[in-house]
Amino acid sequence: MESVDNMQEKLEELSLEANVACPVDPFEKMRKAFEEFKAYFKKEKELFDALAQSQHPKWMIIACSDSRVDPALVLGLELGEAFILRNIASLIPPHSKQSGHKSGASAIEYAVEHLKVEHIMIVGHSRCGGIKALLEMKEDGSNRFSEYIEDWIQIAQPASEIAKAKVPHDSPFEELWTCCVKESVNLSLRNCMSYPFVKIPMEKGLLTLHGAYFDFVNGAFDVWKLKCKIDEHQSL
Protein backbone atom coordinates (compact mmCIF):
# COMPACT_ATOMS: atom_id res chain seq x y z
CA MET A 1 0.00 0.00 0.00
CA GLU A 2 2.81 2.34 0.93
CA SER A 3 4.51 1.99 -2.41
CA VAL A 4 1.23 2.71 -4.25
CA ASP A 5 0.74 5.89 -2.18
CA ASN A 6 4.32 6.94 -2.91
CA MET A 7 3.76 6.34 -6.60
CA GLN A 8 0.54 8.38 -6.50
CA GLU A 9 2.39 11.24 -4.83
CA LYS A 10 5.20 11.04 -7.37
CA LEU A 11 2.71 11.13 -10.25
CA GLU A 12 1.03 14.20 -8.79
CA GLU A 13 4.38 15.94 -8.37
CA LEU A 14 5.34 15.16 -11.95
CA SER A 15 2.07 16.37 -13.41
CA LEU A 16 2.35 19.59 -11.38
CA GLU A 17 5.84 20.13 -12.76
CA ALA A 18 4.62 19.43 -16.28
CA ASN A 19 1.85 22.01 -15.93
CA VAL A 20 4.26 24.65 -14.68
CA ALA A 21 6.79 23.87 -17.40
CA CYS A 22 4.22 23.78 -20.24
CA PRO A 23 1.12 25.51 -18.89
CA VAL A 24 -2.00 24.66 -20.87
CA ASP A 25 -3.20 27.80 -22.62
CA PRO A 26 -6.93 28.20 -21.91
CA PHE A 27 -7.33 29.98 -25.21
CA GLU A 28 -5.55 27.40 -27.33
CA LYS A 29 -8.76 25.49 -27.94
CA MET A 30 -10.63 28.70 -28.73
CA ARG A 31 -7.83 29.89 -31.03
CA LYS A 32 -7.92 26.66 -33.01
CA ALA A 33 -11.70 26.79 -33.16
CA PHE A 34 -11.61 30.34 -34.47
CA GLU A 35 -9.15 29.31 -37.18
CA GLU A 36 -11.71 26.75 -38.39
CA PHE A 37 -14.42 29.37 -38.14
CA LYS A 38 -12.32 31.79 -40.20
CA ALA A 39 -12.16 29.20 -42.98
CA TYR A 40 -15.96 28.82 -42.85
CA PHE A 41 -16.26 32.63 -42.85
CA LYS A 42 -14.17 32.87 -46.03
CA LYS A 43 -16.24 30.16 -47.68
CA GLU A 44 -19.54 31.89 -46.92
CA LYS A 45 -18.26 35.31 -47.99
CA GLU A 46 -21.58 36.49 -49.41
CA LEU A 47 -23.44 35.74 -46.19
CA PHE A 48 -20.84 37.44 -44.02
CA ASP A 49 -20.55 40.48 -46.29
CA ALA A 50 -24.30 40.95 -45.85
CA LEU A 51 -24.09 40.42 -42.08
CA ALA A 52 -21.21 42.91 -41.85
CA GLN A 53 -23.62 45.60 -42.99
CA SER A 54 -26.52 44.85 -40.67
CA GLN A 55 -28.49 42.18 -38.93
CA HIS A 56 -32.09 41.21 -39.69
CA PRO A 57 -32.90 38.33 -37.42
CA LYS A 58 -36.52 37.12 -37.47
CA TRP A 59 -36.19 35.59 -34.02
CA MET A 60 -35.40 36.81 -30.56
CA ILE A 61 -34.60 33.93 -28.24
CA ILE A 62 -34.44 34.23 -24.46
CA ALA A 63 -32.60 31.29 -22.94
CA CYS A 64 -30.92 30.28 -19.71
CA SER A 65 -27.19 30.89 -19.24
CA ASP A 66 -26.81 27.17 -18.47
CA SER A 67 -23.88 25.73 -20.46
CA ARG A 68 -26.00 22.78 -21.58
CA VAL A 69 -28.68 24.79 -23.39
CA ASP A 70 -27.06 27.11 -25.92
CA PRO A 71 -30.01 27.87 -28.22
CA ALA A 72 -27.92 28.38 -31.37
CA LEU A 73 -26.37 24.94 -30.87
CA VAL A 74 -29.58 23.20 -29.88
CA LEU A 75 -31.70 24.69 -32.66
CA GLY A 76 -29.03 24.69 -35.36
CA LEU A 77 -29.27 28.45 -35.82
CA GLU A 78 -26.96 30.14 -38.27
CA LEU A 79 -25.30 33.46 -37.54
CA GLY A 80 -27.72 36.28 -38.25
CA GLU A 81 -30.85 34.26 -37.50
CA ALA A 82 -31.54 34.99 -33.86
CA PHE A 83 -30.95 37.83 -31.43
CA ILE A 84 -30.25 36.03 -28.16
CA LEU A 85 -30.66 37.18 -24.56
CA ARG A 86 -29.37 34.83 -21.85
CA ASN A 87 -29.65 35.05 -18.08
CA ILE A 88 -30.28 32.66 -15.17
CA ALA A 89 -33.53 30.78 -15.82
CA SER A 90 -34.41 32.90 -18.91
CA LEU A 91 -36.42 35.34 -16.79
CA ILE A 92 -38.14 38.51 -17.91
CA PRO A 93 -39.41 40.79 -15.13
CA PRO A 94 -42.68 42.68 -15.67
CA HIS A 95 -42.65 46.22 -17.06
CA SER A 96 -41.76 48.68 -14.33
CA LYS A 97 -40.95 52.38 -14.16
CA GLN A 98 -38.63 51.79 -11.19
CA SER A 99 -35.05 52.70 -11.86
CA GLY A 100 -32.51 49.95 -12.20
CA HIS A 101 -30.51 48.29 -14.92
CA LYS A 102 -32.93 46.58 -17.21
CA SER A 103 -31.01 44.06 -19.28
CA GLY A 104 -34.10 42.14 -20.43
CA ALA A 105 -36.28 45.17 -21.14
CA SER A 106 -33.56 46.95 -23.13
CA ALA A 107 -32.81 43.84 -25.19
CA ILE A 108 -36.49 43.24 -26.00
CA GLU A 109 -37.02 46.92 -26.82
CA TYR A 110 -34.07 46.82 -29.23
CA ALA A 111 -35.14 43.54 -30.83
CA VAL A 112 -38.78 44.52 -31.34
CA GLU A 113 -38.56 48.26 -32.09
CA HIS A 114 -35.28 48.40 -34.02
CA LEU A 115 -34.60 44.95 -35.43
CA LYS A 116 -38.34 44.28 -35.88
CA VAL A 117 -38.10 40.61 -34.97
CA GLU A 118 -41.26 38.64 -35.74
CA HIS A 119 -40.99 36.00 -33.05
CA ILE A 120 -39.87 35.86 -29.43
CA MET A 121 -39.20 32.44 -27.94
CA ILE A 122 -38.49 31.89 -24.26
CA VAL A 123 -36.77 28.55 -23.63
CA GLY A 124 -36.80 26.81 -20.26
CA HIS A 125 -34.96 23.55 -19.66
CA SER A 126 -34.70 20.42 -17.57
CA ARG A 127 -32.68 20.44 -14.32
CA CYS A 128 -32.59 24.25 -14.16
CA GLY A 129 -30.48 25.22 -11.13
CA GLY A 130 -32.11 28.63 -10.83
CA ILE A 131 -35.61 27.16 -10.62
CA LYS A 132 -34.44 24.49 -8.17
CA ALA A 133 -33.05 27.22 -5.92
CA LEU A 134 -36.38 29.06 -6.18
CA LEU A 135 -38.36 25.98 -5.15
CA GLU A 136 -36.08 25.39 -2.17
CA MET A 137 -36.19 28.97 -0.88
CA LYS A 138 -37.75 29.29 2.55
CA GLU A 139 -40.28 32.10 2.97
CA ASP A 140 -38.48 33.54 5.99
CA GLY A 141 -35.21 33.66 4.05
CA SER A 142 -33.52 31.50 6.66
CA ASN A 143 -31.68 29.41 4.09
CA ARG A 144 -30.46 32.31 1.97
CA PHE A 145 -27.18 31.43 0.30
CA SER A 146 -26.34 34.24 -2.09
CA GLU A 147 -26.00 37.98 -2.46
CA TYR A 148 -27.71 38.27 -5.87
CA ILE A 149 -29.01 34.92 -7.09
CA GLU A 150 -32.12 34.72 -4.93
CA ASP A 151 -33.12 38.33 -5.63
CA TRP A 152 -32.93 37.51 -9.34
CA ILE A 153 -34.86 34.25 -9.32
CA GLN A 154 -37.54 35.77 -7.10
CA ILE A 155 -38.88 37.19 -10.37
CA ALA A 156 -40.33 33.69 -10.91
CA GLN A 157 -41.94 33.44 -7.45
CA PRO A 158 -45.52 33.47 -8.88
CA ALA A 159 -44.57 30.47 -11.07
CA SER A 160 -43.36 28.59 -8.01
CA GLU A 161 -46.71 29.16 -6.33
CA ILE A 162 -48.64 27.95 -9.38
CA ALA A 163 -46.48 24.84 -9.71
CA LYS A 164 -46.78 23.97 -6.01
CA ALA A 165 -50.56 24.23 -6.29
CA LYS A 166 -50.69 22.16 -9.50
CA VAL A 167 -48.39 19.26 -8.63
CA PRO A 168 -49.55 16.79 -5.93
CA HIS A 169 -47.49 17.03 -2.72
CA ASP A 170 -46.37 13.42 -2.82
CA SER A 171 -45.06 13.62 -6.41
CA PRO A 172 -41.33 13.22 -7.05
CA PHE A 173 -39.40 16.51 -6.95
CA GLU A 174 -38.55 16.16 -10.65
CA GLU A 175 -42.24 16.63 -11.51
CA LEU A 176 -42.54 19.83 -9.48
CA TRP A 177 -39.24 21.04 -10.95
CA THR A 178 -40.38 20.46 -14.56
CA CYS A 179 -43.76 22.08 -13.91
CA CYS A 180 -42.15 25.11 -12.30
CA VAL A 181 -39.76 25.62 -15.22
CA LYS A 182 -42.69 25.59 -17.67
CA GLU A 183 -44.77 27.92 -15.48
CA SER A 184 -41.77 30.24 -15.23
CA VAL A 185 -41.56 30.35 -19.04
CA ASN A 186 -45.28 31.21 -19.15
CA LEU A 187 -44.80 33.89 -16.50
CA SER A 188 -41.93 35.45 -18.46
CA LEU A 189 -44.05 35.35 -21.64
CA ARG A 190 -46.89 37.19 -19.86
CA ASN A 191 -44.35 39.64 -18.41
CA CYS A 192 -43.10 40.29 -21.98
CA MET A 193 -46.63 41.28 -22.90
CA SER A 194 -46.65 43.90 -20.17
CA TYR A 195 -44.26 45.97 -22.32
CA PRO A 196 -46.25 48.24 -24.66
CA PHE A 197 -43.66 47.76 -27.42
CA VAL A 198 -44.43 44.00 -27.30
CA LYS A 199 -48.19 44.22 -26.77
CA ILE A 200 -48.87 46.54 -29.71
CA PRO A 201 -47.19 44.46 -32.46
CA MET A 202 -48.68 41.29 -30.94
CA GLU A 203 -52.17 42.73 -31.23
CA LYS A 204 -51.45 43.66 -34.85
CA GLY A 205 -50.28 40.14 -35.62
CA LEU A 206 -46.71 41.33 -36.31
CA LEU A 207 -45.12 39.56 -33.35
CA THR A 208 -45.71 36.04 -32.00
CA LEU A 209 -44.61 34.85 -28.58
CA HIS A 210 -43.56 31.22 -28.09
CA GLY A 211 -42.67 29.17 -25.05
CA ALA A 212 -40.35 26.18 -25.18
CA TYR A 213 -39.00 23.47 -22.90
CA PHE A 214 -35.73 21.70 -23.72
CA ASP A 215 -35.35 18.37 -21.96
CA PHE A 216 -31.72 17.32 -22.37
CA VAL A 217 -32.21 14.29 -20.17
CA ASN A 218 -34.67 12.62 -22.55
CA GLY A 219 -33.85 14.49 -25.75
CA ALA A 220 -37.12 16.37 -26.23
CA PHE A 221 -38.00 19.91 -27.28
CA ASP A 222 -41.58 21.14 -26.77
CA VAL A 223 -42.92 24.43 -28.10
CA TRP A 224 -46.13 26.30 -27.55
CA LYS A 225 -47.56 29.73 -28.40
CA LEU A 226 -48.84 32.48 -26.18
CA LYS A 227 -52.35 33.27 -27.34
CA CYS A 228 -54.17 36.33 -26.20
CA LYS A 229 -57.69 36.53 -27.46
CA ILE A 230 -60.50 38.67 -26.18
CA ASP A 231 -63.72 36.74 -26.61
CA GLU A 232 -66.82 38.21 -28.13
CA HIS A 233 -69.07 40.04 -25.73
CA GLN A 234 -72.08 38.13 -24.56
CA SER A 235 -75.04 39.73 -22.92
CA LEU A 236 -75.99 38.21 -19.63
| Region 68-127 residues binding other proteins, contact defined as CB under 8 A | 68-70, 72-77, 79-88, 91, 93, 99-107, 109-111, 113-114, 118-119, 121, 126-127
Measured distance CA(216)–CA(125) in Å, rounded: 8
Taking the complex as a whole, the smallest distance from the CB of residue 11 to other proteins amounts, in Å, to 22
| Region 149-168 residues binding other proteins, contact defined as CB under 8 A | 149, 151-155
Measured distance CA(222)–CA(236) in Å, rounded: 39
Instruction: Tell whether residue 224 is a contact of other proteins (CB under 8 A).
Output: no
Stretch that binds other proteins, among 9-17, 31-39, 136-144, 156-164 (CB under 8 A): 31-39
Judge contact between 59 and 123, C-beta under 8 A: no
| Catalytic residue list contains 66 | yes
Which residue of 7, 14, 200, 228 would you call a contact of other proteins, by CB under 8 A?
228
Taking the complex as a whole, the smallest distance from the CB of residue 200 to other proteins amounts, in Å, to 13
Q: Classify each residue of 56-73 as buried b or exposed e, where b means 16 or more C-beta atoms within 10 Å of its C-beta.
A: ebebbbbbbebeebebee
Instruction: Tell whether residue 8 is a contact of other proteins (CB under 8 A).
Output: no
CA angle, corner 228, sides to 222 and 117, nearest 5?
Answer: 65
Measured distance CA(108)–CA(114) in Å, rounded: 10
Measured distance CA(45)–CA(134) in Å, rounded: 46
| Catalytic residue list contains 68 | yes
* Site map 132..151 versus other proteins, x via CB under 8 A: --------------xxxx-x
Measured distance CA(143)–CA(45) in Å, rounded: 54
| Catalytic residue list contains 64 | yes
Instruction: Tell whether residue 174 is a contact of other proteins (CB under 8 A).
Output: no
Catalytic positions, please?
A: 64, 66, 68, 125, 128
